[in-house]
A and B are shown apart, each in its own frame.
Chain A
Amino acid sequence: MESHLLPILIFMGGAAALAVGLLVVGGLLGPRRNSAAKEMPYESGMDPIHDARRRFDVRFHLVAIAFLIFDVELLFLYPWAVASRQAEGIDAAVGDAQRMSAAVGLGDGFQIGFSRGLVFVEVMVFIGLLTVGLIYAWRKGVLQWR
């Protein structure tokens, strides 16, 4: 069974059917009694004085933006983490590049500038940029909650 999509779709369909089915069954079996007090938003017995959707602290927004930046950067690291430890990963790619440079006849000792070390240094620079971003956000006070 090579297709992974089908089991997942069946699973999601089953889960959705369960969730909707439970709500429907509950709607059929439960009693219906309405009252004015029930209609009010629950605020520990006080009468609510205005709509709940008001302006909120901008910090939530800043955290969301910081999350977007860092999380997308992290996603780029997953392929590298897998490839750097597998036989058909970076090592194979480096071997291909070297064979190619030999085939084109670039001469002895000349290689296309691509090696395991270079990949590693580039990834470290990438993580370094991420760290610089974190330090910037920290110094800017984005991470400071009062």
Chain B
Amino acid sequence: MPSPEIILTIVKVALMIGGLMTAAAYFVLLERRVAAWTQDRIGPNRVGMPLTNWRLWGLGQPLADGVKFITKEEYTPAHVDKPLFILAPISILVAALAVFAAVPVGSYLPVPESWGLGDKVDLVVAPHMDVGMLYVFALSSVAVYGVVLGGWASNNKYSFIGGLRSSAQLVAYELPLGLGILGVVLAAGSLDLEEIIRAQVRDGVWYAFAQPLGFIVFGVAAFAEAGRLPFDLPECEQELVGGYHTEYSSLKLLLFLVAEFLHMILASFLIVILFFGGWSLPFGLTGAADAEQLSLAMGIFRLLVMSGKVFLVIVFFMLARWSWPRFRYDQLMALALKVMLPLGILNLVSLAVFYELRANITGGGGWGYEMLQLLACWVVCGAAWLAVAYARPLVADNRPRRDINSYRIDSQV
């Protein structure tokens, strides 16, 4: 008989994987409905309950898609590097799922003592992980391997270019992502995601408002890491016919597509946890940060608040997809390395200075200093915006120069 903790962990893992796979499937439907709504179409609303006439607003669509994917030919082309070709989708999906081991989906729920689990159950697979943020950061970087492996193993020019572009994009945006996280870590004084949420409740302000510049840097980088428009250069349906997964079909393609949606869900979770206070609502509606015992209703309410916030961020992701054209590749890289990276460093340095000053004031400076710091962060954000608007690093003249022999320039670089 395994211990109750082991059983609890297995139940949590099963719920998490099942929930995430279902969520990914239904977000595909939601994405199509949002796309249709944006473009003034109806979207998929036909497939409902099998064997009846119930349409149920198209809720059967993900099931039908799944069945279709499974009954397609599981085909591996002869010109590919077979082990790597199969390893790529598996690795990208395992990494995309395993990240969620450290991501809390709520606060905790009270349980009876007789279950042998203590008096509460944390709503996260690996609770109280002191390096939670590092774990998430590390595993989300593994996505690069899946993309590179897929692009390289396919032995197809579209895949190859897509894989190259994608790897460069993912590694370039990892830097601003890390800098944005550093600002939050500095403010919360912990790498534990649950502790970061509690720190926001204690501070009484969500970090999206306390460090707006960090939020912008992190948000843009999270969009790019998720590979969503306007940063979907890896995919580029129109130019690269799918990029690194051009040669993939049936379930191997499904693994890639699900992993992509999981990346988006992860990005939404991180944005909510790091910058929008996780399960908390303003005015103390969700209770104190360090409440020792929650009622069951409050535990469920926190879970719902967090899910609602994540849902809103995902809808924002989907609306952004249909509102923005794709970046050109040089603009994309310039945005990462010439705009977001310096802004991230500026954000980190300004926050470090503010907190260092605060540490040198006895008692932390109190409420007045906190307001002053908030104001200063917004001033830094505004100044950074003006500086970027003035310097315009994204504007590059790409017209061919008639007065210079382009062959000579190429040989110089």
Contact = CB atoms under 8 A, between A and B. Distances in A.
Interface in B149-167: 152, 154-160, 164, 167
A63 B16 contact: no
Contacts of B14: 14
Contact of B329 (A67, A70, A77, A145): A145
B77 interface: yes
Contacts, number: 215
A60 interface: yes
A112 interface: no
Per DSSP, chain A at the interface is helix
A60 B329 CA distance: 12
Contact of A18 (B17, B74, B125, B168): B17
B17 A84 contact: no
Nearest to B71: A29
A43 B156 contact: yes
Nearest to B72: A30
Contacts of B101: 7-8, 11-12
B338 A15 contact: no
A108 B330 CA distance: 61
Among A4, A51, A54, the most chain B Cβ lie within 10 Å of the Cβ of: A4
Interface string B237-261: 0000100001100111011000000
B71 A19 contact: no
Given A19-B89, A42-B246, A52-B159, A78 B12 contact: no
A78 B182 contact: yes
Contacts of B398: 146
Nearest to A31: B73
Interface stretch (B92-100, B212-220, B223-231, B375-383): B92-100
B17 A15 contact: yes
B22 interface: no
B127 A1 contact: yes
A75 B178 CA distance: 8
B270 interface: no
A124 B330 contact: no
B154 A12 contact: no
A2 B90 CA distance: 30
Given A8-B101, A26-B74, A74-B175, A18 B247 contact: no
A143 B336 CA distance: 10
A93 interface: no
Interface string B119-133: 000000111110000
B252 to A, nearest CB: 7
Among A22, A66, A78, A127, the most chain B Cβ lie within 10 Å of the Cβ of: A22
Contact of B156 (A20, A32, A52, A117): A52
Interface string A31-67: 1110000111111100010011110100110011011
Contact of A53 (B71, B160, B168): B160
A99 interface: no
B333 A84 contact: no
Given A8-B126, A64-B171, A1 B5 contact: yes
A145 B157 CA distance: 20
B304 interface: no
A134 interface: yes
Nearest to A128: B349
B282 interface: no
A23 interface: yes
Given A84-B186, A127-B349, A63 B168 contact: yes
26 contacts: A6-B9, A10-B9, A11-B125, A14-B17, A15-B97, A20-B90, A23-B252, A26-B74, A26-B251, A32-B73, A39-B78, A41-B247, A48-B157, A52-B155, A59-B168, A63-B172, A63-B337, A67-B175, A74-B179, A75-B178, A78-B134, A82-B191, A120-B356, A123-B352, A130-B345, A145-B334
Closest 7 CB pairs of A and B: A85-B189, A26-B251, A145-B330, A15-B97, A67-B171, A41-B156, A7-B126
